[in-house]
Chain A
């Protein structure tokens, strides 16, 4: 029983990070129709910026910020980086083939990774956390508080994002743009601003994912890439439609990898999220929670 609880906690925590990555994908997809493959490296960048701000001499040698202020500043910086990314990797290509833009986001990912390598090196690093080393004991299972924190913070952020989508002007405009960009533009929706905001928010979410993920292990240049792949699978499972759908997709991915994979073919559990994705696409091409084909949307 204790083993099952420990695996459930792991599955939920990994699923929560995958869901954050998937929501980041979805935001940009809705605003621009583009799948941003730099999302994974933005997660990595967020973790490294948090290290830079909170450790040793801190940024520019001005001294380390406290952990929570450092995290907040990281998320703000990531928002600005997202806006910058939109300006250099999306805005100049608006109107070009979607394939060109997707390849450009891949190029941006490689540039980001090389930049981080030059800036911070390649030695694995550690991001501290206010709950480092603390463990919650439930029915004989030891669950690190960091995992609990990941689940709680992700849940709050997802709910906030759903509220943002449903009950704000930004959300309504975003949904209108997703439905028909040209008509939305004719109706006065500032689609260019929307795409900048979407890139900014998506990068901020990636930064948050990096901050939550970092203290669970160690940080190197490949940290975010794996979660981008999981996030992409989550978004496909959810049908690239509703936030709720991609969140369920993310959780399904975490649970199938760690709970199912904890008992069956446990040495190869990394394949299960993708087996699930292939099965869902085969049986329900539009994804679990969307109308129309997820594949066609991509």
Chain B
């Protein structure tokens, strides 16, 4: 009698478990888009002196809009390689379906083997050409959100010479990968340009607070190509004006950062040009205007390109998961490789090198530092200047074409 009761209890439990399991699987089966677990590997304000809030703000905003379709987490990823590797392993332990991260190329390069072996779709926030799919640190599952940095560096040089028609060029290079690769790309772009000469070349440290020698060396140039970090760029911009050197001073993304901080005003601002992947605050499209307004009311300050890109990536991953009908990394990688996504910062489409964005802008500033687009740029998909390493050569440095 007792044995029979035990059997019937076991049977009941078994039936109940089956019903629950069947209901659960049915619920999962009826869900159109599986929840995508996305992890951001980036620091935010207060976590280090180099940390910025834009990546987290943008990604969080997209995740909130997507609701249950996305599960979003952030893990701080310090700049040193060991810290980046540690952050990546922490992320991997959480079994994410996709990872966005590493604002510095050095982080991505250091962790590239782990990224490759994980097979998890990884969207890098930096754009060193070594990380392109055919580069020494590239991988099938490693996607570059931004245009390859040496393409932007090349575009700076071409803007000074081809658009502004300047002949006597000064080069200023910060003493790290940005400066070294930037100046190498500029020299390569200027090679063979008729009548164009590099008349001065100087280097500075990332912590320089006085660039008198470098600024005075630029006397006699009619344009300066600067590949610098924000602080020394601010010093250089102001010291050039102090020394009556009022020529176009073309830098990269640091230009927008110092202009937004009020570091350059008047001639120092109007002389300065920069390159930005996009300028959300100057974009006239209604969806971008609304996004900028929403971002500003949510976070209290206007967004820059990196906030827009992080926002776009979360949305793109969700769209890829929907397309794949799965969050399986292999299927996601395949979906990302073929998806087209029209985002806030750009229209994204993966090329042969796993680069998603193929546009940027040369930007200029008014006397108060307000940014606007001087020249839109577009880069041919699959283009890689091959400045940093011979193994990454694909096509010659392309001439950026005006798209607007």
A binds B: yes
Contact B51 A213 (CB under 8 A): no
| Residue among A6, A9, A117, A218 making CB contact with B234, cutoff 8 Å | A218
Contact B216 A220 (CB under 8 A): no
Q: Within 8 Å of chain B (Cβ to Cβ): is A121?
A: yes
Contact B216 A218 (CB under 8 A): no
Given A117-B45, A122-B45: 17 more A-B contacts, CB < 8 Å: A6-B212, A6-B216, A13-B210, A14-B210, A113-B49, A122-B51, A122-B52, A144-B238, A216-B210, A218-B231, A223-B209, A258-B213, A261-B213, A262-B213, A267-B175, A267-B204, A270-B208
Q: Within 8 Å of chain A (Cβ to Cβ): is B187?
A: no
By size class, the interface of chain A is 35 or more
Contact A258 B207 (CB under 8 A): no
Q: Within 8 Å of chain B (Cβ to Cβ): is A133?
A: yes
Contact A218 B261 (CB under 8 A): yes
> Nearest 7 CB-CB pairs, A to B?
A218-B234, A221-B49, A217-B235, A267-B203, A118-B46, A218-B263, A10-B212
Contact A123 B52 (CB under 8 A): yes
A residues 68-114 with Cβ under 8 Å of B?
A: 113-114
Known pairs A133-B241, A144-B242; A7 contacts B207 (CB<8 A):
no
Residues of B within 8 A of A126 (CB): 234, 261-263
Contact B212 A262 (CB under 8 A): yes
Residues of B within 8 A of A121 (CB): 45, 52-53
Q: How far is the CA of A126 from the CA of B231 in the complex (A)?
A: 10
| Residue among B46, B49, B242 making CB contact with A222, cutoff 8 Å | B49
Residues of A within 8 A of B230 (CB): 124, 218, 220
Q: Within 8 Å of chain A (Cβ to Cβ): is B375?
A: no
Question: In the complex, how many angstroms separate the beta carbon of B251 from the nearest chain A beta carbon?
Answer: 13
Residues of B within 8 A of A267 (CB): 175, 202-204
Known pairs A117-B45, A133-B266, A142-B242; A217 contacts B212 (CB<8 A):
no
Contact A125 B261 (CB under 8 A): yes
A residues 1-49 with Cβ under 8 Å of B?
A: 2-3, 6-7, 9-10, 13-14
Contact A216 B235 (CB under 8 A): yes
* Shortest Cβ distance from B233 into A: residue: A218
Question: By CB atoms of chain A within 10 A, which of B45, B51, B257 has the most?
Answer: B45
Residues of B within 8 A of A13 (CB): 210
Q: How far is the CA of A142 from the CA of B241 in the complex (A)?
A: 10
Question: In the complex, how many angstroms separate the beta carbon of A121 from the nearest chain B beta carbon?
Answer: 6
Question: In the complex, how many angstroms separate the beta carbon of A117 from the nearest chain B beta carbon?
Answer: 5
Residues of B within 8 A of A117 (CB): 45-49, 51
Using CB atoms and an 8 Å cutoff, list the residues of chain A in contact with chain B. Answer: 2-3, 6-7, 9-10, 13-14, 113-114, 117-118, 121-126, 133, 135, 142-144, 213, 216-218, 220-223, 226-227, 258, 261-262, 266-267, 269-270
Residues of A within 8 A of B50 (CB): 122
List 11 A–B pairs whose Cβ atoms lie within 8 Å, in order of A's numbering.
A7-B212, A117-B46, A118-B46, A122-B50, A124-B230, A216-B235, A218-B230, A220-B231, A258-B210, A258-B212, A270-B205
Known pairs A126-B261, A133-B266; A217 contacts B49 (CB<8 A):
no
Known pairs A133-B266, A267-B203; A122 contacts B212 (CB<8 A):
no
Residues of A within 8 A of B46 (CB): 114, 117-118
Q: How far is the CA of A231 from the CA of B175 in the complex (A)?
A: 23
Q: Mark B268-297, 1 if CB is under 8 A from A, else 0.
A: 000000000000000000000000000000
Q: How far is the CA of A142 from the CA of B382 in the complex (A)?
A: 47
Q: How far is the CA of A7 from the CA of B215 in the complex (A)?
A: 11
Q: Within 8 Å of chain A (Cβ to Cβ): is B23?
A: no
Contact B202 A220 (CB under 8 A): no
B residues 315-330 with Cβ under 8 Å of A?
A: none
Known pairs A113-B49, A144-B242, A218-B234; A124 contacts B261 (CB<8 A):
yes
Q: Within 8 Å of chain A (Cβ to Cβ): is B352?
A: no
Q: How far is the CA of A218 from the CA of B257 in the complex (A)?
A: 11
Contact A124 B45 (CB under 8 A): no
Question: In the complex, how many angstroms separate the beta carbon of A49 from the nearest chain B beta carbon?
Answer: 17
B residues 186-223 with Cβ under 8 Å of A?
A: 202-205, 207-210, 212-213, 216
Q: How far is the CA of A115 from the CA of B326 in the complex (A)?
A: 43
| Residue among B47, B52, B207, B213 making CB contact with A266, cutoff 8 Å | B213
Contact A222 B209 (CB under 8 A): no
Residues of A within 8 A of B232 (CB): 217
Contact A124 B205 (CB under 8 A): no
* Shortest Cβ distance from A220 into B: residue: B231
Q: Within 8 Å of chain A (Cβ to Cβ): is B260?
A: yes
Contact B213 A124 (CB under 8 A): no
* Shortest Cβ distance from B50 into A: residue: A122
